[in-house]
């Protein structure tokens, strides 16, 4: 298996622009997680899905953030409009039990 | 909410030395996981622990699930330069949500 796939690996955008991050979980996994990592706050859980249904979105910073999982093999995290404080590395992870497997991350820079 | 205290925050050791790091919590966890993160990459799962008192090894890595279920440690024996990275502990109660420690930055001098 190729593992969790994320795209793009790097994204540089200007403040106010819409950003869409993409994730393909490991086949057969029924949980999908979106995390954000910064030096100041470490790894933060933003939202997670079970069988394509959002279970807990309490970590989503504000209404500018939204996430979807239209099917078992694809999820998106969208930021609209983006702000400089959104600059971070965003990770997607998937699991079918207790063990979560992470993708390589998307490094987002908002100028 | 739940918090994990991971220590030490950073370690500088010589190649060949053994390393120990740990995580403690005021809350009980049902599962403990240990991850390693290399620069520019996502965390990689090293060891998973499911029972209080469990001791599990993966090559030169050994981890234990504390009897109280509020702590866990990770040992690395005979460190090598490629052990460099950030090590995270993570605890899980019910459901799938993980609580992560702040990480231990390990530097190994050849």
pLDDT tens string A41-90: 889 999 999 999 999 999 998 899 999 999 999 999 999 999 999 999 99
Cβ distance B103 to A42 less than 8 Å, yes or no, reads yes
Reading the block at residue B43, the tokens are: 């965390």
pLDDT at A1 over 80: no
Counting Cβ atoms within 10 Å, is residue B36 exposed (0-12), middle (13-18) or buried (19+)?
buried
Which positions in chain A touch B88 (Cβ < 8 Å)?
43
Residue for token digits 């954000």? A36
The C-alpha of B40 sits at a distance from chain A's nearest C-alpha, in angstroms, of: 7
Counting Cβ atoms within 10 Å, is residue B78 exposed (0-12), middle (13-18) or buried (19+)?
exposed
| Three-state SS sequence of chain A | CCCCEEECCEEEECCCCCEEEEEECCCCCCEEEEEEEECCCEEEEEEEEECCEEEECCCCCCCCEEEEEEECCEEEEEECCCCHHHCEEEEEEEECCCCCEECCCEEEEEC
Cβ distance A4 to B33 less than 8 Å, yes or no, reads no
pLDDT at A15 over 90: yes
pLDDT at position B2: 64
**For chains A and B, what is the number of CB pairs under 8 angstroms?**
47
Query: Is residue B80 less than 8 Å (CB to CB) from chain A?
Result: no
């Amino acid at each position: 298996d190729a593992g969790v796939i994320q795209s793009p690996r790097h994204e540089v955008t200007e403040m106010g622009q819409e950003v869409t991050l993409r994730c393909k979980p490991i086949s057969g996994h029924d949980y999908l997680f979106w995390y954000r990592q910064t030096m100041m706050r470490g790894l933060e859980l933003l939202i997670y899905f079970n069988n394509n249904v959002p279970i807990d979105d309490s970590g989503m910073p504000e209404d500018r953030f939204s996430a979807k999982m239209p099917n078992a093999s694809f999820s998106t995290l969208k930021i609209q409009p983006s702000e400089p404080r959104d600059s971070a590395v965003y990770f997607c992870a998937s699991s079918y039990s207790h063990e979560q497997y992470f993708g390589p991350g998307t490094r987002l820079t908002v100028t | 909410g739940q918090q994990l205290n991971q220590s030490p925050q950073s370690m500088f050791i010589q190649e060949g030395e053994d390393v120990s790091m740990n995580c403690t919590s005021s809350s009980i966890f049902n599962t403990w996981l240990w991850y390693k993160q290399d620069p520019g990459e996502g965390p990689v799962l090293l060891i998973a622990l499911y029972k209080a008192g469990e001791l599990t090894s993966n090559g030169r890595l050994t981890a234990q699930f504390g009897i109280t279920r509020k702590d866990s440690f990770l040992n690395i024996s005979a460190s090598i330069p490629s052990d460099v990275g950030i090590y995270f502990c993570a605890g899980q109660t019910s459901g799938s949500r993980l609580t992560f420690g702040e990480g231990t930055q390990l530097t190994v001098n050849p």
